[in-house]
Every structure is written in structure tokens, then in C-alpha cells.
Amino acid sequence: MDCPSNAVNGQTIHGVPLPNELWTHAIGYLSSKQDLARICLVSSLFNAIAIPFLYHTVDIRITKKEEWIKQQRFLINLSSPRFSDLVTRFDASISCIYRRRHGRPHLCDANDKDLGRAIKAFKNLKTLRFRCDLCQASGRHLYLLNDLPTRTLKEFGFSCNCTNARNTDNSIFGSNSLPTAPHMQTVTSLSLHCSDSWLIGANGTIHNVLQRNDALPLLKLWCYEEDHLLGSVGFPDEFLISRPITRFYYKGELWTFEERIKYCAKLDCLLIDHRGTEFIMLVIRHPGAFANLKHLGVLCLPSCNEDSVLEELGPLTNLKLLNTIEIERTIVDEGSLAYIMGPHDVFNPSQSLLQRLKEEHHSLCRLNVVNVFHTYAYLQGSTLWEWRPDGTWAGRAIPDLSRWEVLNGGLDSV
């Protein structure tokens, strides 16, 4: 942000004094960390105003040794009460910096301690998202169990690949588990991809954990992934029954899901990460189980033919409250070795198709179409179609959203 030297002078602009509240309001519109950092250098007043905005959200990505060295001093500063009390959102993604250098020592344990020292200082944290891809070891991140001082945490996401069902010494957990940690009592949105020991402790079961009233009592949104390498507590039917969960993402086998489908009756948003159209067949077999659904995804259609699309989505007419459908189409690009297997056509619904969908699904007012281009990496293009008051559909490109972001209302805020 560039300010003319004659425009800003202390608390005045062109010689006219302005109240601090107005400066705070203006600076609050800045989203760039670089701009906020420059504002801090203008004056002591601007520094005091901009610092809370600068440290409100902290985002750390570490994949290289140089990045970790750079972040070490920053993490030390974050541990200071001057800054730690300002942090309400912390998003960290860390990787082993020596993984591919055989025979050289690594610092994963020390790096995790540095990160934990900072996280344990955040008293006002509301959102914590932590993705770990450190080398495999047991005993890391234990500060997440009982050392966090925050009692305002609402969103908690934890993905850990350094501990799994094969290398975890369960005795290190004792009787502690994530659902019963003091800071988890206020959590309403949860995403976990980690060893099941984090859920049940050393000797417990998920049933025993849920018997405690302090185990995630306010949970409403949950991303659940089955992973046999990490261990599995099975389909979380007890969670769905005993907690006020209304928005749920499930990544696992559909036959397991169908056996416990009756526990989904109170859901208003359901995301299934599964290829093919098997889920639509579940709706045909169990229409009553989804009567309260307003948001459904992610449906993978085998064809872009509009008549075929209407036929595939036809059974969803039984869901009278459904207003949002998410469709995903995987495109095999020429750059992929699987090009000869197809498909190659992008799904781009016409106004005619959208109007016909609206006629059949009266509550439908939003269609999110994601075309995934399968080259050597996955590149996505998302278009959100929305029903307008004038009786037409309007489409616009939106950023790629994770399943958890969608559960947290990402389509409402893009």
C-alpha cells in the first residue's frame, strides 16, 4: 500500500485530525500481510492499530530447511503474549525437510516442539488447522491432548502421517484422547485424519469415550475418513446419534455406510467421496433416510449427455428440501498416460439443462460443478450455478474448496 508522503501525518490527513476508530476501520480492509507490515512502520499509532490485524490469522507452510530456519524466529515471537493473545486462527502445514536425504540427521522432533511451543501460547484461538507430513515416529504432537489454553476453539482440523496404527505406542496416550481434551469442548467443526489412538486413548473404545459428557458435546460438522493404515474405529454411528451433527463428510466404503444409513436421518448436508453412481442407488433404496437433506455431493456422473444427467439425478426428486447439488467430473487430459481410457469432455451444463433440473427439483437453487483435469497433477475448475430471482441461472468461477471448507459453508461465502 503506497501512501503519499503529504497525505498522512500522525492522526491527520491533509491537516484534518481523524479519530482512531476511523483509522482502525480503514486499516481493517487490508488483506495483504505485506501491506499491514508496511502500515506498522508508519507510526506508533498505526503500529498499534495494524498489529492485531497482522497477527489475527497466521499461516505457516514448511517443506524446506530454509523455510524452517526462517520460521523459527517467527514462532519464538509468536510465543510472546504480545502476539500470541492476538492469534485466533492458526493454519500450519509441515513436512520432513530431510526425508529424501538418506544418511543425514533430521530435526523433526525439535521442529515439532518449536511449533507446539507456539500453539500452546494461543489463548484466544478459534480455528486450528494442522497438517503433519513429518517422518514416521511415535510421541509427537502430544501437546494437542491437554496443553492448549484456548477455551474458544470452534474449528479443529488435524491430519498426521507421522503416526499410524503400525508405529504408534498407545501407552503414550494414557487415558487421554482428543475428544475429551478440555479445549475440544467448544469445537463445533472437526476434521481428523490420524491414528485412531488419538480418538480412543491407550485402552479405550469409541463407545467409552462418547459416554463422557465432555467429549465433543457441541460437534455439528464432521469430516470422517476411514484409513486402514491409520486404524479405524468403524463407521461413526455412535457419533452421529449422540452428538448434534448435521453436516457430515464420509470417505469410506459405501457398503459400510448403507448398513448404518438410518443414523443419517438428521443430516442436512452430506458429502460422499465415492466414484460412480452407487450413492444415488442408496437414495432409491432408502429415501426416508435422507428426507432432511438440503445439500448433497459429490456426485460423479458417467456421462455429460444432458438426458443421461437428468436420468441419473431423477431419484433425487424424492428429496423435497434439496437446494444444493455438487457434481464432479474427472477429465483425462492428453498429458496423461491414461488418455486412451477417457473421458475427455468437460461438463458444462446448458441453460436448458439447468431449467429442466429446476422443473424436476423445485427446491434446487444451487449447482456446483467441479471438472477435475487428470494430468500428472490434479487441476480443478469449479463453476457455481445459482438460481436468480428473474428465473434464470447464473454461473461464476469459484476457488477450489476442500470438503471441509464446503461443510463449513464455503459455498455461501465465495
Q: Give the start-to-end residue ranges of the domains of the chain.
A: 1-54, 56-245, 296-414
Beta pairing class for 393-398 and 378-387: antiparallel
Which cell numbers hold the place of 138?
511415535
SS3 398: strand
- pLDDT score at 156: 96
Residue type at position 13: I
| Cβ neighbours around 181 below 10 Å, total | 21
Nearest Cα to Cα of residue 250 among 263, 374, 160, 412: 263
CA 393 to chain centre: 28
Give the confidence band of 8 by pLDDT, cuts at 50, 70, 90. Answer: very low
Question: Which residues sit opposite 157 in a β-bridge?
Answer: 129, 191
| Cβ neighbours around 163 below 10 Å, total | 24
Lowest mean pLDDT among 147-156, 222-231, 332-341: 332-341
- pLDDT score at 99: 57
Give Rg (Cα) of the chain.
24
SS3 310: helix
Nearest Cα to Cα of residue 276 among 253, 256, 295: 253
pLDDT digits (tens, 9 = 90+) for 78-113: 999 989 999 999 999 988 876 555 444 467 888 888
CB 299 within 8 A of CB 264: no
Handedness of CA 199, 203, 206, 210 (dihedral sign): negative
Compute the distance between CA of residue 41 and CA of residue 45 in angstroms, rounded to an integer: 10
- pLDDT score at 105: 46
Which cell numbers hold the place of 328?
464432479
pTM of the model: 0.84
- pLDDT score at 3: 45
The arithmetic mean of pLDDT across residues 252-268, rounded, is 82
Q: Name the more confident of 345 and 9.
A: 345
Handedness of CA 227, 229, 230, 232 (dihedral sign): positive
Cis peptide before 298 (omega within 30 of 0): yes
Confidence check: pLDDT of 12 > 80:
no
Give the right CATH number for 1-54 from 3.30.1370, 1.20.1280, 1.10.760, 2.60.40.
1.20.1280
Which cell numbers hold the place of 269?
448436508
The rounded mean pLDDT for the chain is 82
- pLDDT score at 393: 97
Q: Name the more confident of 329 and 8.
A: 329
Residues 6+ apart with CB under 8 A from 399: 382, 414
Helices (H) and strands (E) in the chain, counts: 16, 16
- pLDDT score at 339: 44
Cis peptide before 343 (omega within 30 of 0): yes
Residues 6+ apart with CB under 8 A from 402: none
Q: What are the strands, taking DSSP E only, across 342-388?
A: 366-374, 378-387
Q: Which backbone phi and psi does 38 adopt, to 5 degrees?
A: -70, -40
pLDDT digits (tens, 9 = 90+) for 126-176: 999 999 988 877 778 989 988 799 999 999 999 988 875 554 555 666 667
DSSP string, 225-283: E-BTTTB---S-HHHHHHS---EEEEES-HHHHHHTGGGGTT-SEEEE--SSSHHHHHH
User: If residue 81 lies in a helix (H) or strand (E), which one and from where to where?
Assistant: helix 81-84
